[in-house]
Amino acid sequence: MKTPSMRLDGKKALVTGASRGIGLACAYALAESGADVLMVARDEAPLAEAAQAVGQAHPKVTITHESLELTHVDAVNRFFESHPAFDILVNNAGTNRPGHIRDISNQDIDEVIELNVTSVLTACRAFALQPRDQGQEASIINISSQMGLVGARDRAVYCASKHAVEGMTKALAWDLGDEKIRVNTVCPTFIETQMTKKLFEDADFKAKVLSKIALGDIASPSDIMGAVVFLASPAARMITGSSIVIDGGWTAA
């Protein structure tokens, strides 16, 4: 017997929200494993800088970038129609509007659901519609959250969106299984990124988060990289409709 490879040589990957944080880490990981990576995000300048950094680190693969507003359905459809079929899609772009349910505005609800749910479903549909060669397997990896598995104070809208991603992923696994398109989620705990840095400057908040993590440490974007490569690779050939939970034990309590 031979252990299946986790190499991705010759594969074409698309990563959304790729200019920073988890998305950027995913781009690095996929490129290191041999995939050509197209990085997309809303803002061109930081995206171009991120793509240049990934390309310099991994010169043997092709790293490209395009700005894309994922909440514009027609733009997303045109984007996928204009590219050859991708082998790997990492839906990472997302947002959060923490707050008590009484304080959440209509705009907060609309923006979180639009980016975290609708744009993910739209991208999955467009990915599935791309014409593929006979026998061409593919992998969709939706970046969800531990909050897609549990509830938490001041996270009603975010939890709603990530629970939706979990349900969507399970349904898509059945919709696309006959075509050998696997669909899974990665569910991180709080990740120390540029977006969350300010939160962790609050000592009480940081202590509260650490008290919920059995391993007693805050996660970093690099903690996501292995799971994404695994789910994209032939080593995960029989895994679909599943979640890899990277929460340090948060949801085990």
Q: How far apart are CA 243 and CA 230, in angstroms?
A: 12
Tokens of 53: 């950094």
Q: What pLDDT shows up at residue 48?
A: 98
* DSSP for 79-135, written as a single string: HHHTSPPPSEEEE---------GGG--HHHHHHHHIIIIIHHHHHHHHHHHS---TT
Q: Which pLDDT band holds residue 194 (cuts at 50, 70, 90)?
A: confident
Mean pLDDT of 247-252: 98
Average pLDDT, the chain: 97
**Active-site residue set:** 158
Domains of the chain, with CATH numbers?
A: 12-252 (3.40.50.720)
The percent of residues above 70 in pLDDT, for the chain, comes to 100
User: Does residue 11 register a pLDDT over 90?
Assistant: yes
pLDDT tens digits along 94-153: 999 999 999 999 999 999 999 999 999 999 999 999 999 988 999 999 999 999 999 999
Q: For 159, what's the count of Cα atoms within 13 Å in the CB-facing half-sphere?
A: 12
Name the pTM for this structure. 0.97
Q: What pLDDT shows up at residue 71?
A: 97
Q: What pLDDT shows up at residue 197?
A: 84
CA proximity to 70, closest of 14, 143, 21, 17: 17
